[in-house]
Amino acid sequence: MLSDRWAKVGDPIKIEDYSYDDFKQFLTFLYSGQCQLSNDNIFAMVDIAEFYGVAAFKEFCEEFLVQAKCTLDNVFLMVELAKKYSLKKLEETVTKFISDNFAMCFKSPQFQALPKSTVKFLIEVNQETPMQEEMFEGVSFLLTFSLMIFFLGISMGRKASKRKP
């Protein structure tokens, strides 16, 4: 598995990116096809599955996420996870939740904090929604808020640069 270039035979292999408990669960899955997933470890487990390229484990983790309850508090985090790791079933689940709870999602503070690429994705998948006005209001608020922060930052920067020590 490892060549002499990276490690010598008999030397321990250090796993520094993941906790002992998370890696133990990963190994348990490799040997038995089952492991203990929880809301606390699921994000690390998906990352382990992706990092080591174990598709069956990634699917196992995705199934756990699909069965988890989507809420306004976690839906945008789940969207990010689905996009980052190409979890198509999870993407469908969270997209349906957002479509069903459109006004509430697009007006939430969590929506305002999303990266531009995620906002674009959500707008694209919800173009057929009958709630275009709510989507427009949410995006409009996001843009207004972003512009306000941008201009406040410039304004503060100018004041700071005019000061003499």
pLDDT score, position 157: 52
User: How many helices and strands (H and E) does the chain possess?
Assistant: 9, 0
pTM here is: 0.69
Q: Are 76 and 90 in contact (CB under 8 A)?
A: no
pLDDT less than 70: residues of the chain: 1-7, 126-165
Q: What is the CATH number of the domain that holds 31?
A: 3.30.710.10
What is residue 46's predicted lDDT score, i.e. its pLDDT?
A: 98
Instruction: Print the domain residue range for 98.
Output: 71-165
Rounded distance between C-alpha atoms, residue 57 and residue 129, angstroms: 34
Count of domains observed in the chain:
2
Whether 80 and 47 share a structural domain: no
148, burial (CB in 10 Å: exposed 0-12, middle 13-18, buried 19+) = exposed
- For 52-76, the pLDDT digits (tens) are 999 999 999 999 999 999 998 899 8
- Residue 12: the pLDDT is 80
